[in-house]
Amino acid sequence: MNHDSNRSMNSLTKQPLDLINNIGILKVCWEKFARYFEVELKEVKLREGYYVMDPVKAVELVDENTICVAAILGSTLNGEFEDVKQLNDLLIEKNKETGWDTPIHVDAASGGFIAPFLYPELEWDFRLPLVKSINVSGHKYGLVYAGIGWVIWRSKEDLPEELIFHINYLGADQPTFTLNFSKGSSQVIAQYYQLIRLGYEGYRNVMENCRENMIVLKEGLENTGRFNIVSKDDGVPLVAFSLKNNHSHNEFEVSDMLRRYGWIVPAYTMPADAQHITVLRVVIREDFSRTLAERLVNDIQKVLHELDALPSKFTANISVSGDHKEVEKNGTLVAKKTDLETQREITTIWRKFVLERKKTSGVC
């Protein structure tokens, strides 16, 4: 729907406008938009093993007040591209059945500078008739300083004139439709320079190199035998992985200990309905070389070896029949420790063990 029809539909039904997105990779910009403009967000939940928006479930949520369905080309969680083509086909059928005109916006913040060079045959852009607008972040894989982004509309009709403001106090008519005020032009100049300097072939070479280094890192982690790979080979060049066995030590401990080797590798839990899954994520950028990938694998192996030598931070589950306050030890009844007492004892032992290792290892 365009802006005018959305507004008139809303005044007739007295229902809030809504926008459909993926709850798992919902960015704060969408939350801000919904709050500032009083738009209801309808979120498609994830599930274990499927960490992108399900097009079927998304289309089921569409109603007469839906202003668009937002697909993300490059999940923040695992880099996977959402299936914009299937979403487009399903939405065309629903629009025919209902007489609505619900469009698609593609949030290609990362994937917009990747898909055209690595997956040119992938249909996610204006080749699909319902895709009306696309945004891309130049400060991600556009290889520019932070703070530059682009949005493109399919046609002038898809950006209503009443949303555009015109100023002429700078010497000529200048249209503007953003919420930002005065900003520096350095990022725009840098993006213009990169586009001219690299061109299509240059960007393709950079993205192919990123993907190759991603494969090196992924295979190195797989060869340790300690990790499950959560990310996909096709998508944003990143590796998301989790421990096969995290009963003794978890991904947060791996992340914390990697800082001693100069690595900042985030660990996080998946969103609702998959929150029991914890992953580590490494994003491969232009300056992340094959040498760095191999070094990271070696440092991760060192961390795993150190963790294996440390006592577990988790309290073992002790099954005691009934509600007895005492347990037998060497033929003598002794008072059973509370869970809190046991946890404190384990924490004390852990700290003492780590301090002793720091004294002898010489690591600052």
Residue after which a domain boundary falls, among 158, 178, 194: 194
CA–CA distance, 68 with 91 (Å, rounded to integer): 10
pLDDT mean for each 10 residues of the chain (364 residues): 44 59 63 87 86 94 94 93 97 97 96 97 98 95 91 93 88 83 85 96 98 98 97 96 93 96 94 86 96 98 95 53 46 59 68 63 46
Backbone phi, psi, residue 240, to 5°: -110, 130
| Single-letter amino acid code for the residue at 278 | T
Backbone phi, psi, residue 114, to 5°: -115, -55
In a domain, 246, yes or no: no
CATH code for the domain in which residue 65 is found? 3.40.640.10
CA–CA distance, 266 with 282 (Å, rounded to integer): 8
The residue range of the domain holding 346 is 319-364
In a domain, 153, yes or no: yes
CA–CA distance, 87 with 133 (Å, rounded to integer): 15
pLDDT digit string, tens, across residues 254-275: 999 999 999 999 999 988 778 8
In a domain, 263, yes or no: no
- Strand ranges inside the chain, DSSP E: 18-22, 40-44, 66-72, 104-107, 131-137, 149-153, 165-167, 174-176, 227-229, 238-243, 267-269, 278-283, 326-329, 332-335
Average pLDDT of the residues of the chain: 85
pLDDT at position 231 is 95
Residue after which a domain boundary falls, among 194, 229, 261: 194
Q: Please tell me what DSSP assigns to residue 164.
A: -
- How many domains, in total, are found in the chain? 2
Nearest to 296 by CA among 224, 353, 207: 224
Residue after which a domain boundary falls, among 141, 159, 194: 194
Nearest to 119 by CA among 211, 202, 56, 241: 211
pLDDT at position 85 is 98
pLDDT at position 185 is 86
Token look-up 């800082």 returns 259
In a domain, 173, yes or no: yes
pLDDT digit string, tens, across residues 18-71: 777 665 455 678 888 888 888 998 988 888 888 899 999 999 999 999 999 999
Token look-up 């309808």 returns 42
Q: Are 154 and 134 in contact (CB under 8 A)?
A: no
Q: Are 194 and 143 in contact (CB under 8 A)?
A: yes
In a domain, 150, yes or no: yes
In a domain, 259, yes or no: no
* pTM reported for the whole predicted model: 0.79
Q: At what angle do helices 290-309 and 186-224 cross, to 10 degrees?
A: 50
Q: How big is the CA angle at 216 (ends 210 and 222), to the nearest 5 degrees?
A: 135
pLDDT at position 29 is 80
